[in-house]
Amino acid sequence: MLTPSSPNPPPVSLAGGKKIWSVGTLTYSAGGLALLFVWLLFGDFAYMMRERSAAPVTQLMLKKYEASDLVTGIFLLTIPWTVILIAGPTVSYWSDRHRSRRGRRIPFLLLPTPFVTLAMIGLAFSPRLGAALHQWFGGNPATVNHTILLTMGLFWMVFEIGVVISNAVFNGLINDVVPREWLGRFYGLFRAVGLGAGILFNYKIIGHAEENYSIILASIGLIYGVGFTVMCLRVKEGDYPPPAAAARTNPVLGAIGDYFRDCFSKPYYLWVFIFIGLANTVFVPVNLFAIYAAKSYGLTMETYGKYLVVTFICSFCLAFPLGWLADRFHPLRVGLGALLLYAIVMLAGFQWMHDPKSFGLVFLAHGILSGTFFTGTAAIAQMLFPKLKFAQFAAAAGLIAAFMNMVLGPVLGAALDRLGSDYRYTFLAGSLLAVISIGLGLFVHRRWQQLGGQAGYVAPE
């Protein structure tokens, strides 16, 4: 059997020039590999429609019901990342060690799907439900928005629990079933599908979100539920070696000890976790308040959506070439290049932005460069972490990111409240975070080269 942390064997050429690729106990012909990609990308489209719609529509609902920037930061950053902090490591640890007829990933993807769908439907109708509950309990009409926001928060929490479980495992499934030599290009296609979902949502849907948020959230919730379930039923996992037996007197405390010993006992991985976590926060300041920034510069949601469509089209065109670059040069290097460009352009944009047109151009640059980073680094965890324990290592990186985002959301929101909601400062914050991330990334790059680099890297056990 393939050693989990070692590179996959090269494709085997059969009679007639046909090639066979393998990952673990799975083998694929060209046709089989194409079919695998079709089902994974089909599920990804449903997954990304959920991702592209939930946050921006909820953000518009928050503003409609008079949430402050601080509340928005807590709602869209602190709540999700608190859930990640609690649920992410548990689910990933369990999934890595789970063995069932359907594999170790599929059960964890199937189970939360209906809950996410129902939570999106509940969120869609939470303003009506919140208003009805407020009236039922005889609340002051002047504070009805508080009850609506609380109702939204409850559904949002259920939604995020389901999302965190699926997010913790989905990349693990890809890591288990996609051959190593195709990971960069697969994630290029993966990003292209996600960008296609973004183009569809922002070109056709977001302009109607302020008035028709209920039907939008409910419909996309149903699309996600059906599409993701179909993918889970069609993709097959291979066989895995039995998980290592751990002698422990207390299964809960022993599991926690195993988790932290595996993931946090090696300084190299700690630096990788910190770099990945911080690099992913670079784009949060602009993304979190982009809708509010657009409205502050007088842009309609229809115009804002068209700007996003342009960024997604550019990123769509770049997706496969960036996947090829990641396979050729490594996601770490591609990501560092994208961060450097982002730091320079966002600093210049902060100084130059002054009207709707200049905001739009800087926002376009933000979208294209952030897309470049996320596409170019989509496979970075798969190429740096041990294969057999991939999900728990990815969740460990998520722990670090959770702490960062839990702090970043309220800090950004409170700072913007004090700055009179001058959203231009979100671009400056992104630039400064990019500079810090580059320094950390260069240190990780040096250690990665010492461990074998592009030609011979093997994830330390």
Per-residue pLDDT at 191: 75
Predicted confidence at residue 245, as pLDDT, reads 60
Q: Give me the amino acid identity at 121.
A: I
pLDDT < 70 positions in the chain = 1-17, 244-257
- What is the token pair recorded at 398? 């998520």
DSSP output for 135-189: HHTT--GGGHHHHHHHHHHHHHHHHHHHHHHHHHHHHHHHHHHS-GGGHHHHHHH
Distance CA 72, CA 412 (A): 10
Q: Are 422 and 416 in contact (CB under 8 A)?
A: yes
Q: How far is CA 191 from CA 226, 371, 441, in A?
A: 21, 9, 22
Task: Provide the domain limits for residue 335.
Answer: 12-240+249-456
Backbone dihedral angles phi then psi of residue 206, each to the nearest 5 degrees: -60, -30
pLDDT at site 4 = 36
461 located within any domain = no
The answer to whether residue 393 sits within a structural domain is yes
CB atoms within 10 A of CB 424: 18
User: Edge to edge, what strands does the sheet with 26-28 contain?
Assistant: 12-13, 19-23, 26-28
Residue 325 burial by Cβ neighbours in a 10 Å radius (0-12, 13-18, 19+): buried
Would residue 423 count as lying in a domain? yes
What whole-number distance in Å separates Cα of residue 236 and Cα of residue 225? 19
Q: What pLDDT is recorded for position 425?
A: 93
14 in Cβ contact with 1 (< 8 Å) = no
Residue 21, beta-bridge partner list: 28
pLDDT in tens, 172-206: 888 888 887 787 778 778 778 877 887 888 777 87
Q: Is the dihedral of CA 177, 183, 185, 186 positive or negative?
A: positive
The region, left, alpha or beta by phi > 0 then psi within -120 to 50, assigned to residue 250 is beta
**Residue 152 maps to a domain:** yes
Residue 388 inside a domain? The answer is yes
Residue 5 counted as domain residue: no
Structural domain count of the chain:
1
Any domain includes 151 = yes
| CATH number of the domain encompassing residue 206 | 1.20.1250.20
Q: Give residue 456's identity as a one-letter amino acid code.
A: G
Residue 13 is predicted with a pLDDT of: 52
Predicted pLDDT at 174: 87
Give yes or no for a contact between 248 and 97, defined as CB atoms under 8 angstroms apart.
no
Look at residue 254 and tell me if it is in a domain.
yes
